[in-house]
Structure 1
Amino acid sequence: MNRPIQRVGMAVIVLVLLLVANLTWVQVLHAPALRASEYNKRSQIDTYSRQRGLILDAEGNVLAETVPSTGQFKYQRRYPAQPVQAYATVTGYYGPHFGAGYGIESAENAFLNGTDDRLFTQNFVDMFAGRDPRGGNVQTTIVPGLQTAAYDALRGGSCNGPCRGAVVAMEPSTGKILAMVSTPSYDPNLMATEDYTAAEASWNRLKTEPSPLRNRAISELYRPGSTFKVVTAATALRAGLKSDVRLTSAATFPLPGSSNSLPNDGNPPRACPGASGGTVTLAQAFEYSCNTAFAQLVTQKLPGDPFDEFTDTALGFGVGENPPGIPLSVAKSAIGDLDGDRAALAQSSIGERDVKLTVLQNAVNAATVAAGGVRMRPYLVDRLQSADLGTVAATTPSELNRPLTAEDAAVLTRMMVASEQSGRDAQAGIASKTGTTDPNETGSAYAWYIAFRPGANIAVAVMVENGTGGSQAYGGLIAAPIGRTVLNASTGGNR
């Protein structure tokens, strides 16, 4: 064979091999991405030819459903609960142009659209029965009365413009998330439309800051301010100190190894109320939220290594661990790297410096005290059902750990009850702690309130970004009324 023919033959072989490789990549390796592409109309038509499962609240009310479409697809997603914006944080959205976004629609997408392996039996029976494929249902733990109460209270809060913040209510004995609200919110029906131009316009509005797509309850981290004194007080109790241990009542506390001082609240800083001989008890320091007393507590009073004591207690409450999904993804709360710096330890003891929590984590902190020192795994999905309403999976409450003994939790509860009673517009039967951080980018302080009703099986955390009053947007003035409204909306007792 002459050389030119050999060259042509080799070129043909190379081209055939390249063709085989390209077909393999397209049909095997890249096939899942192509099927999922928003430009794949066949995939869209297939997806919208099946009845997507329901999303339900704890009482069986429909939060998301699939209805017959009048457009190009067979079905369309609809969100009927009112006010619909109250539930967008939980449901997310699902539409033909932007897919499954956020919330349960995204986290449980495979189950809702019927492709989850756990629905194999249902799909097999449907195929032989000649029925269209159907998705499974997701029943959440959300209690509608609490969800709407939280949304209305947050939306109507005392804010500079529309309130930006979040509320989480939990059942301490089980970890059920009874309410989870983030504002500003949106109407997911606008993203479910078949009209691409309308859906795109809605998407562009949702991306504009402050974005309603940001779930401020679980995705954003905030300095918790004095609400973190719950964890710091727990550190002292775990170390064997009592609530009557004496601490400084001074208006300022010199930060170790620094020329700066840590002040109490007030301008100028004030000494802690109720002092005797220049000192107050830990219980008094907690009731009046005295920063200097807590700074001395962690830098001078803790036995053993104060850094280990503080970080171990925080980790016991879940601060610093990778949080489990609920099944929505949750940002990791942390206290930061203290690195043996006692000044940093003093500042962290009052929830400042590098301490950052989600609103959910602060609700877990309150719920752990309310549950007698037991930290339960938080969860948002109660059960998964087939389209025929058979239970496919149900969430069993699970204990994560016990950072506090029942006795220490009872002591901390009494301290939180006294803290509530020292605040403005206090209500009986509530254990709470407020928090106020330094002004943030909005010019307001982050206003916090965490609380529970002893014996009523509900705990709540509230955070508001843009309360009125600027740096004086105190947690007791801005966040506390919202939290009390949610607690009062609960009937109490076991659910």
Structure 2
Amino acid sequence: MNIQVFSEDYKEIADSNILSKIEARPLRGMVYDRDGRILVNNAPVFDIMMTLNQMELGPADTTELANLFDITVEDIRNTIADARARGFYSAPYLFVKQLKKEDFAKIQDYLPRFKGLSVEPRTIREYPHQSLANVLGYVKQVTKEFLDSDTTEYYKQRDLIGRSGIERYYEQELRGKRGVYYVLKNARREVKGKFKDGAYDELPESGSDLVSSIDLELQQYAEQLMQNKRGAIVAIEPSTGEILTMLSAPSYDPNLLTGEGRKVSKNYSTLLKNKGNPLFNRAMQSRYPPGSTFKTVMSLIGMQEGVLDTTYTRFVCGGERVKCHAHPSPLSIAGSLQHSCNPWYYKAIRKIILQDKKVDAQEDLHYGLSHWKEKVQEFGLGRRLGIDLPFEKGGLVPGPDFYTRAYGGRPWKISNIYSISIGQGEVLAMPIQLANLAATIANRGWYYTPHIIKDVGGKGPKEIYKEKNRVSIDRSYFDYTARAMAGVKTAPLAMMNDIPIAGKTGTAQNPHGKDHSIFMAFAPVHDPKIAIAVYVENAGFGGTWAAPIASLVMEKYLKGQVDRDWLEQYVLNAEILVDEEE
């Protein structure tokens, strides 16, 4: 309170005894999907406050109060003791938190019987569709430790703050601006009215509404396809970088973490202990080997460097160093992608890293691998993309320093790193990065940084998401790669009769069990509207599970419906959970 601001009104203040400043919390901004459907809104709740120096509780009153709120007499005594210990005698102290409107309706007529109790309306977050838990995130009340270290001076006790997902990343935009109003109270602290008819009041400003790029209908369909499976799906609109769907399976109902109290704490503990790890966003935090999807990057770099030629380069598949499946031989670059030949890329990496030199000199090897790493990172691999969600990981693209450390300073040879040519070994990527790789090929060499929010308070996306990122590889080589992917032979279940798609399968080795199934694609080939990456953990070959899931999601988005019921049932009836109870 600042008496000097209102010095002309000393007499009025003196007559009224007390001028109180009351802060008003703003409504948190809402979140919508790309078609205007609400993803996150604000639900009203009611905190019951108590003021000790106004309370008159006898034994019978205490028992009645306990029955009214379905708590124990001991709970009431403990709350009163806590208020006294904290010095809350004349100021309101939280008695019962966050009653939902239906529960408040049952008790509101009884409250006037109990002196010293008051009601403070507020809001909590509500998720009407039970989808997108890992994307939307959740909010919690600020802790004392946070308030002690907070330098913004914005937050107060019992304020909400985003702890994960969109709620955390866009906290400043969502939280709004706090308001304030002044009231006059008498000696018994009864409100007598507004000071100066509210002339000095400041209304709270609601937080900015966010329009996400998520297609809710597509998201729900993708979540349905991933039931009884572990993994992730990310779909992007190539022309904008807008994320159409992002899911991590298994997931959870975001309403489980709404509000405060024992129930929410228990829900969080249960989710934390779940072996399926539903709180972990596999779409942007799981670092998987990209498997054979990485062959697209290898071939593009090789063509740009001039060591792989679309006309003359042919390699025979003799099963050198690694097993392969039956396919024609020798193969061109396009054939190597379509048939996903591993020995082909064991031969290609020597040309790419050593620039076709026959020697394996350390100097040439270090330079070649360093140059290769720079080219790979242009695709958004081996680093954080910068999407608008917290806790994104960056994958791994190894360079000379990595292997020098790994070998303890001893010399290493190209024969020690062959596996990176097929997306195994030390190369790691997240599903979001592979979806972005598909978008980059779809765009023939450029991408916008993938993002979830397309509009912040009517001002469009953040500026960083309007900037094109270009890969220094000729468009003609991307055209060649896209045509090759359109003839993929390893994913027959992904093909649609009426929509041409370009895809690449992958099978990621898993030292802990069965391999992971991967598919990366975009469609239509010559006018791409959607790019997608699907990972299904412990599901084996990429064409068996990840490819049909990706194909169904693309069909749903492009046609608004799915005509291949037989394929849909094949995916929906699958249960791919390995040796772990949920």
TM-score, normalization by structure 1: 0.75
Are positions 1:463 and 2:535 aligned together? yes
- Give the distance between the partners of 1:205 and 1:244, measured in 2 at CA: 58
- CA positional deviation for 1:67: 1.8
Q: 471, 494, 505: which is aligned to 1:402? A: 471
CA distance in 1, matches of 2:431, 2:239: 19
Shift in Å, 1:80: 3.6
**Alignment of 1:90 onto 2:135:** yes
1:425/1:104 CA distance change after superposition, 3 Å: closer
Corresponding residue for 1:432? 503
Q: CA deviation at 1:309?
A: 5.1
1:279-428 matched pairs, under 5 angstroms = 279-300=330-351, 302-303=355-356, 306-308=368-370, 310-338=372-400, 339=403, 341-385=413-457, 390-391=458-459, 395=463, 397-419=466-488, 423-424=492-493, 426-428=495-497
Post-superposition CA distance 1:129-186 (Å, at most 9, x none): 753442221221112222122212222xxxxxx2111111111122111111111111
- Specify the alignment match of 1:231 in structure 2: 297
1:97/1:483 CA distance change after superposition, 3 Å: same
Alpha-carbon separation, structure 2, partners of 1:492 and 1:405: 32
Q: CA deviation at 1:60?
A: 1.7
Cα distance in 2 for residues equivalent to 1:180 and 1:425: 20
Which residue of structure 2 lines up, in the alignment, with residue 146 of structure 1?
218
Equivalence for 2:272: 207
> Structure 1 residue 464: deviation in Å?
1.1
Task: Tell me which residue corresponds to 2:164.
Answer: 102
Q: Supply the distance in 2 between the matched residues of 1:446 and 1:364 (Cα, whole angstroms).
A: 19
**3-state DSSP class of the match of 2:435?**
helix
Q: What letter matches 1:204 in structure 2?
A: S
- Corresponding position of 2:322: 262
Once residues 433 and 128 of structure 1 are traced to their aligned partners in structure 2, the CA distance between those partners, rounded to angstroms, is: 64
Code of the aligned partner of 2:383: E
| Alignment gaps of 5+ in structure 2 | 1-21, 48-96, 99-120, 144-160, 179-197, 358-363, 404-411, 561-582
Report the counterpart of residue 76 of structure 1 in structure 2.
Answer: 123
**Unpaired runs of at least 5, structure 1:** 1-44, 117-125, 156-161, 254-260, 468-472
- 1:31 aligns with none
Instruction: Give the structure-2-normalised TM-score.
Output: 0.64
Residue by residue, what CA displacement relative to the aligned partner does 1:323-357 show, whole Å, maximum 9, x if unpaired? 32424342112222354631244210100000000
Q: Is residue 369–residue 399 contact of structure 2 (8 Å, CA) maintained in 1?
A: no
- Structure 1 or 2, whichever has the larger Rg, is 2
Question: For residue 112 of structure 1, what is the amino acid of its counterpart?
Answer: L
1:274 maps to 2:328: yes
Q: CA deviation at 1:479?
A: 0.6
| 1:288 counterpart letter in structure 2 | H
CA distance in 1, matches of 2:467, 2:391: 18
Give the Cα–Cα distance (whole angstroms) in 2 for the partners of residues 451 and 462 of structure 1: 9
Give the 3-state SS of the residue equivalent to 1:326 in structure 2. coil
Q: What is the CA distance between 1:234 and its match in structure 2? A: 1.0
Aligned equivalent of 1:63: 39
| Distance across 2 between alignment mates of 1:104 and 1:336 | 31
* Identical residues among aligned pairs (%): 26
Match of 1:189 in 2: 255
RMSD in angstroms over aligned alpha carbons? 2.7
147 and 422 in structure 1: CA distance in 2 versus 1, 3 angstrom threshold: closer
- The one-letter amino acid paired with 2:483 is R
Counterpart in 2 of 1:481? 548
Whether the aligned pair in 2 keeps the contact of 1:368 and 1:374 (CA below 8 Å) is: yes
Name the CA distance, whole Å, in 2 between partners of 1:127 and 1:143: 45
